[in-house]
Amino acid sequence: MIQLLFALLFGEGLLILLLLVRTPLRKLVLLGLDRVKRGRGPAVVKTLATTVFVVLVSSVNSVMKIQRRASAVGSITPTDQVLMSKHMLEASMMGYALFLTLMIDRMHHHMTELRILRKQIRSSGEGKSAGGSGDNSNSNRRALEEDIAALQEKVKELQLESEAKDREAKTAETNAMALRKQSEGFLLEYDRLLEDNQNLRSQLQSVDRRLSHSDSKKNIFP
């Protein structure tokens, strides 16, 4: 489960990076997202997102149950501590995955709008040059210039929003790496606790054998 979530976060981070960097791959990614949003694609994505959200709620519920059991007993066992850390890690990773999915959807939406606006600006400029100076009045020119200025302002706003999304993506990727290192530490601690538990059981069995042996001697020699 954790390895699958790491792969999902890595894939979403790579997809965001391809959307932000101007490369030939970005066109392919945009075309792929366009196809995903057609037909049954949105329904499949919503179903997967709902499933991940349900698992996220289940993990949070498990963490709350462990905390309630620990508060009732007064202390938390090492096994419950490891399980709680595992559930918290999975919940955090699923939350980041849902957040990155939403961010990819918004980035694709804004980039599609930006592409349409640029086409409109080009078509407006071409229509202006093809119309001739004698056919266009000053009012029409002024209106076109105002429209172009408004479109350019919107393009700047979209670029600023895209830069903000880029910073959020970098932050999310950094948090994902930190969670991965934390999970590795939890797994090592879990292995150590299992080994300690096995050693304690072996010692208890040895003590039980000694006690049973001494009792048998007492029964033989009263």
For 164-187, write each residue's pLDDT tens digit.
Answer: 888 888 887 888 788 888 877 777
Assess if residue 222 is contained within a domain: no
Answer yes or no: is 180 within a domain.
yes
For 98, the domain range is 2-210
The confidence band for 135, taking pLDDT boundaries of 50, 70 and 90, is: low
> CB of 173 within 8 A of CB of 93?
no
C-alpha pair distances (Å), 212 with each of 182, 201, 209? 45, 16, 5
Decide if 217 is inside a domain. no
220 lies in some domain: no
Question: What are 29-88's pLDDT values in tens digits?
Answer: 888 887 877 777 778 878 888 888 888 888 888 888 888 887 777 777 777 778 888 888
* 12 touches 172 (CB < 8 A): no
Cα four-point dihedral sign 103, 104, 106, 107: positive
Would you say residue 6 has pLDDT above 70? yes
Question: Of 161, 141, 142, which Cα lies nearest the Cα of 153?
Answer: 161
C-alpha distance from residue 162 to each of 12, 20, 31, 113, 172 (Å): 16, 8, 19, 12, 15
Tell me how many domains the chain contains: 1
Query: In this structure, is residue 40 part of a structural domain?
Result: yes
Asked if 36 and 45 count as a contact pair (C-beta separation under 8 A), the reply is: yes
59 touches 65 (CB < 8 A): no
- CA-to-CA separations, 6 to 28, 46, 105, in angstroms, rounded: 24, 20, 20
pTM of the model: 0.50
Residue 216 lies in a domain: no
Domain-located, residue 149: yes
**Most distant CA pair in the chain, distance:** 129
In-domain check, residue 218: no
